[in-house]
Amino acid sequence: MLRSVYEVVEAVLRVQDGPIRTPELAARVGLDPDHLNRVFRRFVGEPLGSFIRRLRLERAAYRLAHSRGRIGYLAEEAGFSGAESFCRAFARAYGTPPSQFRAEATAPWKIRAPSSMHWTPEGEMEVALREQDSLEVKIVRLRPIQLAAANYYAPYRDIWSAWERLGRYFPTETQARRLFCNFHEDGILKAGLPARAHLGFELAEGEDCPPGLEPATIPGGLFATIGPYAGAELHRRAWAHLNSNLVPKGYRKAYFLPGYDEYLGFPIPTDQMVCRTHLGLGLGPLDYA
């Protein structure tokens, strides 16, 4: 369900002007409109219609303060039937009519909301989705990371042998200055079956990979991130939460959702590790049963 909500948010951001209709959004993600509204409210904290209207008003408020566009044009762009209905909605949200808001120029354009999601001039939004009594998930765009890695292909229960190999090639006195990652190239981990992973530390720009380790790249793109940095128990909950909410049912093919753990320091021993988890979105093919 998290994936459906994220796709709806992305669709809302892509539509630049005119009305946005819930049935069309529901069809896009394969849900009944009423069910989509319930799911959206559960994760975002406000109804879908209110979310769309708020983002459109925030964009209009920003453009009022930073451009000379006509109020009638801004009303049409925001999906209102006319300037009058737009002005009424704007005054309810900001406590002042559009013309006065423009004259003040320095008034804040973000509207208080249950979630931390707001329209931005750059067109990028950090999407924070959290189900009640659950973990907070943020959809973020992350850069590629170049690693010096100890590559691993064996049952996941034995993966700490690769961490030990990595430690032999890395000076202890400089470990605290590095970002360590465990890149799970195989999206689904199954007990007893081999898993492909790259355990390593981030290379600085232009830095060569040390002898005894192999270069590896974590691809950049959209990731579902559970933060903040936390210990082993939250790490286990994070992976269970992400896989249950974002991996499609009927999935059976590897390389669908590669992800990685990001550590604040060298993660051995296990009970002292501190990390956060990222699960890739759309980095590989879908394969449904």
- Tell me if 261 sits within 8 A of 245, measured CB to CB: no
Report the side by side order of strands in the sheet with 145-155. Answer: 127-130, 136-142, 221-230, 275-280, 259-263, 180-184, 194-202, 145-155, 214-218
pLDDT of residue 207: 86
Q: Are residues 93 and 150 in the same domain?
A: no
* Domain final position from 80, 101, 116: 116
**Same domain? 101 vs 216:** no
Residues 156 and 249 in one domain: yes
Residues 74, 147, single domain; the answer is no
Q: Which residues pair with 130 in a beta bridge?
A: 136
Residue 160 sits in the same domain as residue 110: no
Whether 18 and 102 map to the same domain: the answer is: yes
Indicate whether 129 belongs to any domain.
Answer: no
Domain boundary among 100, 116, 132: 116
The reply to whether 122 falls in a domain is no
Q: Is residue 252, in this structure, part of any structural domain at all?
A: yes
Range(s) of the domain holding residue 259: 140-280
Residues 96 and 195 in one domain: no
155 and 275 both lie in a single domain: yes
247-278 burial string, b = 16+ CB within 10 Å, else e? eeeebeebebbbbbbbbeebbeeeeebbbbbb
Provide the pLDDT for residue 285. Answer: 36
**What's the pLDDT score for residue 134?**
55
Identify the burial level of 227 via C-beta atoms within 10 angstroms of its C-beta, where 0-12 means exposed, 13-18 middle and 19 or more buried: middle
**Domains contained in the chain, number:** 2
Q: 221 and 108, same structural domain?
A: no
Q: Is residue 250 part of a domain?
A: yes
Task: Report yes or no on whether pTM surpasses 0.85.
Answer: no
Domain boundary residue among 83, 116, 149? Answer: 116
Q: Which string of b and e fits 177-190 if b means at least 16 CB within 10 Å?
A: ebebbbbbbbbbbe
Residues 90 and 169 in one domain: no
Q: What is the C-alpha separation between 271 and 29, in angstroms, rounded?
A: 40
9 and 81: one domain?
yes
Q: Of 234, 28, 244, 222, nearest to 138 (Cα)? A: 222
Residues 10 and 86 in one domain: yes
Residue 165 CA: distances (Å) to CA of 161, 174, 183, 216: 6, 16, 16, 16
CATH number at residue 31: 1.10.10.60
Contact 257, 175 (CB under 8 A): no
**Chunked mean pLDDT (size 10), the chain, 289 residues:** 75 75 87 86 82 89 87 86 90 90 80 79 62 63 86 78 77 57 68 78 86 87 74 71 59 54 69 74 40
Residue 132 lies in a domain: no
Specify the pLDDT at position 225.
81
Integer-rounded Cα Rg, in Å, for the chain is 23
CATH number of the CATH domain containing 148: 3.20.80.10
